[in-house]
Structure formats: C-alpha cells, structure tokens
Structure 1
Amino acid sequence: MFKWVPYVFVRFTVVFTAGILLAIYLPDCIAENIALWSLSSSIFLYFLLYLINSFYGVKVNPGFTGLLIIFLSGYLLVLQKTETRNKQHLIHFTDSISHFQVVLISHAQDKPKSWKMEARLQKVKTDKQWIDLDGKVLLYFAKEHFPQNFQYGDVLLIEGSPQVLTPPANPGEFDYKRFLSFRNIYHQAFIRANKVYQVDYAPPSPLLAVAIQVRSWADRVLKQYVRGDQEQAIATALVLGITDGLDNDIMHAYSATGALHVLAVSGLHVSIIYGILLLLLKPLSKREGGQWMIAVVSLSVLWGYALITGLSPSVLRAVTMFSFVALARPLGWSTNIYNTLAASAFCLLLHDPYLIMSVGFQLSYAAVFGIVYLQRPIYLLWVAPGYWTDKVWQISTVSIAAQLATVSLGLLYFHQFPMYFLFSNLFVIPISFAVLVLGLAVLALCWLTPLALGLGWLLTLCIQAMNGSVVLVESLPFSLLDNLYINTAQSWLIMLLLGSLLLLFQNKQFIYLQVAFCFALLLTISTWYHYQHVVHKNEWIIYKVNGATAMDFISKGRSYFLADSALLYDDEKIRFHIRPNRLINEAKQVEAERIKEKQPMSHNT
C-alpha cells in the first residue's frame, strides 16, 4: 500500500495546485468572502484540534483540515494575483484615452519587423484630466521608426490608447489572448513614430535592470567571438536563452528531431552546470562543514548564471529547482528527491500561481520527474558491455525517461512525435554540453582576446556539428509523425495509462493491468467518438487572415483549399491560421488553388 508520510511536500503541492486550478477554471465557484471565511475557520479548527491532541491526549487527526487550508490558500492566491479584480485596472475604464504613461518592465524582444516589450501602466489622460490606473500593456515598436529599442525601466509618454486583446478569429487558432491573460496582460499598443516620448528612467527592480544589462553584455561578447549568423543565434539561445535570432528552418529541424529543449535554457543546462560544480567541489565533501560550503558555492554560481541570462522565467524556474536540490543534503533532505522537487514547485507557484499554465513549467517538472523516477529502472534493464557503450546507454535512458514523462504533453501542445529522438539526443546532449561550457568559458575569458578567439572558433565548430547532426536526422525517412491531434482529456488518459503500465511492471500486481485496460478503453472510445464526429463532417470555412483571402472546403477528412498566391507560399501564416482547424477535423489538404481576385475577404464563418 502506498504511504504518503514520506512525501509531505508532494502532498502539499498537489493540494495547493488543485486549489489554483479550481480558481483558474472556475474563478467564481466560491465567493472570495466565503473562501476567506472558510480559510479562517479552517485555521482556527486546525489549531483547536492540535491543542486537543496536545493537552487532552485525544487522538484527532487534523491532516484533512490542514490540506483544506492549503487548498483554499491556493484558490485565494489566484484571486489575489489576478489583476483584473482590481477596480483600478485599465480593463474597467471606459472613457476615451488620448495619452497614457507606462514604465517598461521587460527587455526588448527582437521580432522581424518590431521590438516587443511589456509595460506597466501608470496613468492615462482623458479630455479632462490625468487618472492613475494599473495594468500591463504589450507594446510593439516598428523597427522602421525605432531602429534602436528602448530599455527596461524607461518611463514613456505615449499618444494614443491601449487596445484590448482580441480572441482568435479562426477555429482552433492559438488563443493568444488567453495565453497573455496568464501573465496578466490584457491590452496591447502599436507605437507610431513621433507618438512616444521618454520622460524618465525608473526601473521597478534595480536587480533586474542590472541582470538585463549583464545579459546584453554577454550577448555582445558571444556574437563577437562566434562566426556566422546562425551559429551566433544558437550560441545565444543555448547559453543565454535568447531565441530572437533563430530562423524557422533551424527551429523546425530541432523540433522534428526532439532536440528543441537544448535551445531553451532550462533544467538540462542548469543540471550541467550543477554537475560540473559537484565534480569540482567533491574534495570539500570530506571536510567539516563541507556540505554547506558546496551548497553555498553552488547557489552562488547558479544564481550568478541566472543573472547572466537576465533572470528569465525559464532560468529562474530551473535555478530554483536545483537550489532546493543543492540545499537538500546539508539540510538532511537528501533521502527524498520527490519532496525536494515538490518544494521547489510549491515556492514557484506561491510566487506566481499562473505558472501552472505555462507549457515550460509543465514540461520541465514532468521531464525531471520522469528522469528521477524512470531512468534508473530503465538503465538496469540492460548491462551495457564496455565503458563507452555504458555511457551511450546512460544518455539513452535519460532521453527515454524524459520522453515517456512528456509524451502526452508533447502531443497535446505540439501535435507531433519525433521518431528518432533517441538517436538525435545521442549527439545533441553531449555537443550541447560542450557548447554551454565553451560559451561560459568565452564569457569568463573574453578579456584574453587570443584565448577567447580560440574558444570561439571551437564553439563555432561545435554548433556547426550539432546543427549538422540535427539536419541529418531530420532528413531521414519517417523522422517526424505530425498532425497528431489529441485533446486535454485524451492527454490525461495517456498519462494515466502510461502510469498504470509503469506501476504494473514495478509491482507485478494484476490490479494495475485492469486499471490500464480501463484507461486504454476510455482512450479508444474517446478517439473513436472524435473520429466519427469529424469523418462525416462537411464544412466551408472562410478564414480571417490579414491582407489575404483563404477558404477551406472540408469533406470527410479532405481539405480543398483556396487562397491568394501570397498566402499559398506563406507557411507561417498557414501554420498559425489554417492548420489548427484542419488538425481538429483530421483533414488533409488534397487540392490548393489560387484565388485570382485581388480584393481580400474579412469574413469568418
């Protein structure tokens, strides 16, 4: 029988997450005042039961009451962190706005035609007066008018009015409005020339301002010593987490081979740095207080690396996770890695409960859990002969464990499965290790120009080798299974099915086979129902695509596509606006024709 006692923080985090999800999906199911009253009553009851146990010797377990406190805390935290519940939020303001003042709260993201930055609203001007308001606004500065971007902390006075984000206009299209709502962003503004004035410089966080400046310096150094535009983009992405310069072809190649994770600074990169630190600091472990010395040095280096990357959310997530791992041994937590991981997730969600909706957060923790839980049992299935064969097998088992843990999320969000992920990761993981180490070495030794040039040359060669291996794997036949549609319920069923099968192999109990059969049956029924719903479907859709005309006639899994010539060859627009609806309807394009009329349509049915 499974015992919860050793998994205290796992229990806390699961219940806390349940409260968060309830508030996100059903924010009004419990009135805020009732939730507050229930929380206060639960806290009072918990201490009452504790006193009864302590002074009267009556065995009353307050555990359920404690979990209720955590659940309600998660629910109320989401309500408190949802900025639109503030009456001073811009979304409640209905008067006409002629000017607004903001402070920039992010670094500039380099887009093909614009700079994109987040801003915090300070006040707005109506016809009569200035009014203090709150809210985040996404700003776009056209490069043709603003060749040099503004910086974090700039206070800008802008002529115009922020616009409310609109929901997706086409069926199945990515809901960018909902995505941004999880970051409390509900408005955007496209800034024109001569309509913006810098009035002050007041960074909300001096630490973040320094971090962004350090990252800008590191970006310049890497681009100075790495040759080739694409090589520079890979270097800055893998070392610093800056993905602005990556082109679509190389992104698709890494995605199709299951190697995209190396281009986003995450747990893999931080684990490499932490592993190197443990190796270098191993002699200290035998000294008195050595574990604390290792922890302090590790934390200093990890958070220093986070500073170099500009304290980006993905890096903070990974560094927080490994900070708990680093503290586990000196604090006596080393016996249970699951509690350590759960504690790090709990703290991150306590800071920002909407992180639970982040794809990166979900994939990171799923992958780490899979590696911790599955890698060792998979590794023991085969004893590899020879040193190098064993190392290859170790890398393979890490890839298999991570893939098993994230396969359902990958299908849900990306609708594809890389068939040769195992093969590609045999090359990508070791080379990415070298790229990260060489990149950090270039930053550390950039003041020694000859040495930095040599390291930069090696770094360029490693990146070219990594790109070449990825492109080679992508070119193999059947390298990618794509257009695989599953919904959220089916994703959960796949996770539960895999979990049941793993428990079956681990415990050898027939009950898990029965449970796995039930989940497999439900998954089959769900898939069959969806197929029956779409296979007999006939529909004519006129898509809304800016500056273009596009329509689909979908019949029994076949799509007949009509569009103007510009759109027919624009893969990015088709992928974003057209493909999602075909994916839901499991329709394959069998014919495409060019529309000769020049006047674009703007209807959506």
Structure 2
Amino acid sequence: MIHNAPFFKINIFLILGILFSSLFEKQLIGNTYLIVLTLLFFVLIAFLQWKNTPTVLTTALLCTSVFLIGFSTFQFQKTNNILPKHKGVYLEITKVLSEKEKVKRYLTKVISIADEGLQSTNAKALLTFFGKEKLSPHSIVFVPTSLHSISKNQFPFMYDYSDYLLNKDIHFKVSTNTLEIIENVSYSFTFRDMIQKRIEQIFPSALYGISASLLIGDKSYLQKDEYQLFQQTGNMHLLALSGMHVGIIVLILDLIFFWRKYLNIRTARKLQLFYLPLLWFYASVAGFTPSILRAVSMFSILIIGKALYQKVNLLNLLCFISFCFLGYDPFLLFDIGFILSFTAVLFISVFPYWKEVGKLPYWKKAILSIIIVSILAQLGTISFTAYFFQYIPAYSLFSSILSGFFTSFMMYTGLMILVLDALQIPLDWLICSYEFLYFLFQKWLYLFKELPQLPLVNIGATTAFLLCITIYIKLNNRKLIGLPIVLMLITLTVQYITTYHQHQKTLYCYATKTPAFSFIDQSHIYSFLLRDSVNAQFEYETVIKKHQALFPYQETHFINMNQNKEVMEIQLNDGLIFQYLKPHFILSKKDSTLLKINHLQLKNQQTRIYPLY
C-alpha cells in the first residue's frame, strides 16, 4: 500500500523539516533566502523532468524541497520569545481553557508590553488568574506584572504541560490576583451554544455530561467519576469527536438515504454529494478541531472521488490531508489531538482485509467495521497515550469491542432526540432508551475498571515513537519477523535507560511561586514545600503530586515559618543549603547548622537541579 501512496513518503520529509527547525530557538536562515532556495529547487526539478534526467536526482531534489518547505513554514510562524524587561503587559484573550471558582486559565496574545515606551509584539502567553471575574475571548486586559519564560525540559523524562504550551508556540506565562479589564467583549452565542443549551434542557442532569461529550465534543461537563471511568478503561478517545463520530454520521445518513439502492448506481453515488454540506456543518458545530477537520476532509474527498468514479488510496489521502494541514500550521505536528487522530487512522488504513470486509452484507459490514476500527485505533495510539498521559489502559483492546457499539447507538439516539425536539415530538420514551443505553455502557466499562490496573508509566518520546513503528511494521507486513523483534528490543533498552536515569539520586527544584523541591532516591520521593503563600496548596496539587505519582513511595513535608521573617536557611545535608530570601529561594553550599533534615543524604553524590513548571 505504501508503494501506491507517494504522499506518505513526501510527508516524512515535511515532518523531518519541521522537527529540524524546532530544534533551533533562533532563526538560522533569512526568510527571503529560504523562499528563493526552495523555488530554485523546484525550478531544477522541472528542468530535470523536461530533460528526462534519471529519477534518483529528481527524487532527491523533491525530497530536499519538501524538507525546506517544512523547515521554512515552521520558522516563518515562530513568534519572538525574547522580550525586554517590563512592568506590565496588555493581553488579548484568545481562548478560555478553564474557569473554576478560584483559578481561571486563558490563552492570550500579547498586544504590547509596558516599559519605558509601549512596545508591540506578537508573542503568546498563558494567563492564570486567581480573581473572580470571567473573561470572554477577544477581551483586552492589562496585567501589572511581567511575563515569565517557559523553559524547555522542565519535567525531565516525561511529557508535561510546559511541553504542551511550547509546542503550541506559547513561550510565556503570567499569574496574577488582579488585572485591569481594558475592553470586555460580550460573548456572542453561536449555533453550538444553542445546541448545548438545548442539551442541558432536554436531558436529565445525570446525562448532560455524556450527551455534551458525544454530540458537540464538550467534555467539561462530565462528572469526575465518569471522566475517570472512561480514562481508566482506555475509552477516552470515544468522547473526543473524531473520525469515528464522523463515520457514525455518514452511517446515519446512509440509513436516511436507504432508498438510494433502488436508483441506478450513477445517480445513487451523486446523491452522496448532499452529505458534504451536512458534514461540514457538523464540523462547525464540533468547533473545527484538528481531528474533526481531518475526518471531514477525508470523507469529503472520498465521497467526491466515489461520485466521479475515481479510486482513492486511503493511506495516500490521509498523508495528503496531513501535508496540507502541516503546511498551513506546522505546530499541529506537536498537537496531541492531531498526533492521536492521524496515528489511529494510519493504522486503520493499513489493515489488509478491508476489501473482504466490504463484500459482506450491510449490517455485518457495519458491525465488524466498528470492532476492527476500535481495536486498530487502540493499537495505533497506545504508545503515544502512554507518553502523553503516563498511563496504559490494560484492557482497552477488550473494552473497545462493545464500546464502539454503545457509542454509535447513543450518538444515533442523541441526534434523533435533538431532531425530534426541534419538531416538538414527545421524547420521554426515547430519553428513557438513551438513559438505559448509558446504564449498560457504564456497566460494561465497570467490568474492566474493577480488574487490576497497571501502575502509572513514564515513557520517553523516543520510546513512544519506536513502539509505534514496531506495531505498525508488524501490522503492515506480517512476513517481517526479525525487524519487529529487533525494534522491540531497542525500545525496551531505551525505556530501561530512561527509567534508570529517572530514579537516580537527584534533587528537583520546581519553578513555582511557592518554594518547593523534591529529593529522589530510587523508588522514594521526598517533597518539601514552604507554606508561606495562598497558592501553596494549589501548586502542590497541580505540580508536585503529578511528579510524585511516578514513584511508589511518597512523602510530603510542609515547612512552616514565621511570616514576619524575610530570610530563612535550612541545611539539607552537610554542605547543601536551602536559603529563602522572600520571595525567592536559592540552593547553595556553605556551612550552616540551623536545621537538619535527615531524608536528604547527598554526600559524594552528584546533585542535578532541574527547574520544573
């Protein structure tokens, strides 16, 4: 299949170009030179094609050109991550991340910084606000404090929120208790908001969370126990709108247009073109997420190709869509949703028996397709799920066998409820059926949740990539036996080295407002937090506990001090001193006998200090 998918190979060089460009914080080559160089390569390719030059040179030039496209597009869209000293900053709210009672988080665009003169910039920043006011997108605020840079590799050996922000080209963060609202833009309701309001009014409160997740992709209303149930059983992807949900929409449309089979083939295929506006309307309701855009784009091209009697290679189509997306926004390469969505479909597209499945009767084909898609999606994403979320659902392959059916039936029933509600037809019996389906779905998932679970895992990016490649090669070519075995051995070796370094005797200093640090000793983690700030408990819950979860034995010590004291010293061992000079803290080596903490024995040990977010 790969031999018939030229965009698969082209995509590899585009991705390599983006990855290579991401290694450098500063611009290596001027934008003008990059454009001229890329155009020159394309001119050479056209000339060689005209002269019928051997394809090896032409292919090499084409691959180099695509590599330069990836390199240049990423470099063009990088924002300036160096700002002069400033006392305040003007921010425009671009996205609401979370709005809880005590803590609110927003993605923002830096409009200008306040220093001796007002300087404009195009940087992006994460705003953490501890106030009561809620901010709407496009609102402009002034924060009377300076931006702080987000450092790379803040959590060694694991993926954390700082990596996520940097991969979104967000290089700054700012936390504040007060801000000045310069312009508060009133929120304008969209059709998606109207549907969300109807869902809230139609469905009982116990069904609101699952209904909002399946129908419009909003998981924020799920109860904590519901969220944990789907997460621990490896079915969280069912709640994130993606290709599976778009496929369900297509199946529903096929059922509505069942009478097409009584028409001639040419007319029946052209009638499928009416699906296109409905699919793109659904994409707008779902918020145009990368996974939804990928799925709707692929289905649109498949439908058009079918109507025009053109055969479409699914793998080539997937890579073509990926090429277009990455060419437009290269930062999507580091987006979790993009990675999981495209990896899942990649594994689905290389399944060698789709032709045999397509020859089955309609209902058998639909049932078997749901099972196969669920299992292949789990196989494709399991390595990256472990890397991003530090968790491997042990029974996901088994729970997904029926989970796909429950998701399909619930989504079909939920859409029918919305349609009948718009027509003002009584819904009580249908809502009862929907509630019973969800009850059975939960019972099915609880069977797997009650089984013994794997502990939290911590694999590196290299391990995740090698594991994904190993599974892909084994699935795509069953005749290759030696190569997957060698790759698996390399994967295990890399992971062993990562785990070994992770558990070395090390001191971690967290880049939190509250002075905090942890000492690692094999399987033990001893954490120390200075209780001098109102944010101490919040930072303990959001930062330190996440780090502690990677170790079986955990201890936490809150250090109290007199609030009137501006300076404090704690002797961690015979030579290492923790010195607190309000509001900053440092670690240094000098003689002191103020306080002895016996947990930290660092004699003759190399001390590694990492700043963590």
Q: Same fold (TM over 0.5)?
A: yes
Q: Retained in 2: the 8 A contact 1:371–1:402? A: yes
Structure 1 counterpart of 2:74, which letter? V
Question: Superposition pairs for residues 334-353 of structure 1, below 5 Å?
Answer: 334-353=311-330
1:554 maps to 2:521? yes
1:260 correspondence with 2:215: no
Measured against aligned partners, the alpha-carbon deviations of 1:446-482 in whole angstroms (never above 9, x if no partner) come to 3445535554444344334333432332012x2x323
Query: Structure 2 vs 1, CA of residues 268 and 546 (structure 1 numbering), >3 Å: closer, same or farther?
Result: farther
Note if 1:39 corresponds to 2:38: yes
The 3 A distance-change label for structure 1 pair 363 and 118 is same
Aligned counterpart for 1:484 among listed residues 453, 457, 467: 457
Aligned-residue Cα RMSD (Å) equals 4.0
Q: 1:270 maps to which residue? A: 246
SS in 2 for 1:185: coil
Cα 1:38–1:197, aligned 2, differ >3 Å: closer, same or farther? closer
Correspondence 1:422 to 2:407: no
In the alignment, what sits opposite 2:487? Answer: 519
How far does residue 392 in structure 1 lie from its aligned partner after superposition? 6.6
Displacement of 1:235: 1.4
State the SS of the aligned residue for 1:520.
helix
> Partner of 1:196: helix, strand, or coil?
strand
| Structure 1 residue corresponding to 2:171, chosen from 186, 192, 195 | 186
Please give the alpha-carbon distance, in whole angstroms, between the structure 1 residues aligned to 2:544 and 2:39.
48
* Alignment match of 1:303 (pick from 270, 280, 294): 280
Match of 1:293 in 2: 271
Q: Aligned equivalents of 1:24 and 1:482: distance in 2?
A: 33
Measured in 2, the distance between the counterparts of 1:575 and 1:108 equals: 15
Counting matched residue pairs gives: 559
CA distance in 2: counterparts of 1:225 and 1:375, whole angstroms = 44
- Give the equivalent residue in structure 2 for 1:373: 350
Q: Between Structure 1 and Structure 2, which shows a larger proportion of helix residues?
A: 1
TM-score (normalizing by structure 1): 0.79
Q: What is the one-letter code of the residue matched to 1:49?
A: L
Letter in 1 for 2:401: L
Q: Select the residue among 359, 383, 391 that pairs with 2:336.
A: 359
- Alignment match, 1:18: 16
| Paired-residue identity, % | 20
Contact 1:100/1:161 (<8 A) preserved: no
**1:446 aligned counterpart, secondary structure:** helix
TM-score by length of 2: 0.78
Partner of 1:119: 108
For 1:250 and 1:312, locate their aligned partners in 2 and report how far apart those are by CA, in whole Å. Answer: 23
Partner secondary structure for residue 419 of structure 1: coil
Give the unaligned 5+ runs of structure 2.
564-579, 588-608
Which residue in the other structure is 1:100 paired with? 90
Distance 2:489 2:179 in 1: 63
How far has the Cα of 1:373 moved from its partner? 1.9
8 Å Cα contact 1:559-1:582 kept in structure 2: no
Separation in 2, partners of 1:7, 1:359 = 25
The offset of 1:49, in angstroms, is 1.5
For 1:78, the aligned partner's letter is F
1:588 aligns with 2:552: yes
Give the distance between the partners of 1:174 and 1:248, measured in 2 at CA: 23
Given candidates 539, 544, 556, the residue that maps to 1:577 is 544
- The correspondence for 2:123, drawn from 130, 135, 141, is 135
Amino acid in the other structure paired with 2:95: S
3-state SS, counterpart of residue 481 of structure 1: coil
Question: Structure 1 residues 3 and 560, CA, compared in 2 at 3 Å: closer, same or farther?
Answer: closer
Give the Cα separation in 2 of the matches to 1:249 and 1:195.
Answer: 37
Structure 1 residues 460, 38: closer, same or farther in 2, change over 3 A?
same
Match for residue 494 of structure 1 among 424, 449, 467: 467
- Structure 1, unpaired ranges of 5+: 85-90, 202-208
- Alignment of 1:67 with 2:67, yes or no, is no
Partner SS for 1:106: strand
| CA 1:354–1:499: 2 relative to 1, 3 Å | same
Q: How much does 1:301 deviate?
A: 1.0
Distance 1:76 1:345 in 2: 17
**Which amino acid counterpart does residue 84 of structure 2 have in structure 1?**
T
SS at match of 1:350: helix
* 1:106 and 1:118 in contact (8 A); partners too: yes
Aligned counterparts, 1:77-88, within 5 A: 77-84=73-80
1:326-475 pair list within 5 angstroms: 326-374=303-351, 376=353, 395-449=370-424, 451-452=426-427, 454-475=429-450
Deviation at 1:195, TM superposition (A): 1.7
Structure 1 pair 548–473 and aligned structure 2 pair: CA distance change class (3 A): farther
Partners in 1 of 2:258 and 2:89 — Cα distance?
59
Q: Is the 8 A contact 2:38 2:68 kept in 1?
A: yes
Measure, in 2, the Cα distance between the counterparts of 1:562 and 1:312. Answer: 40
3-state SS, counterpart of residue 221 of structure 2: coil
Say if 1:25 and 1:363 are closer, same or farther in 2 by CA, change over 3 A.
same
Determine the C-alpha separation between the residues in 1 that align with 2:64 and 2:113.
42
SS at match of 2:219: coil
Please give the secondary structure, in 2, of the residue aligned with 1:301: helix
Name the counterpart of 1:87. none
Contact 2:514 2:539 in 1 (8 A): no
Deviations 1:150-188 (A, max 9, x none): 433x44243535623433766556543332233232334
Of 187, 190, 201 in structure 2, the residue corresponding to residue 213 of structure 1 is 190
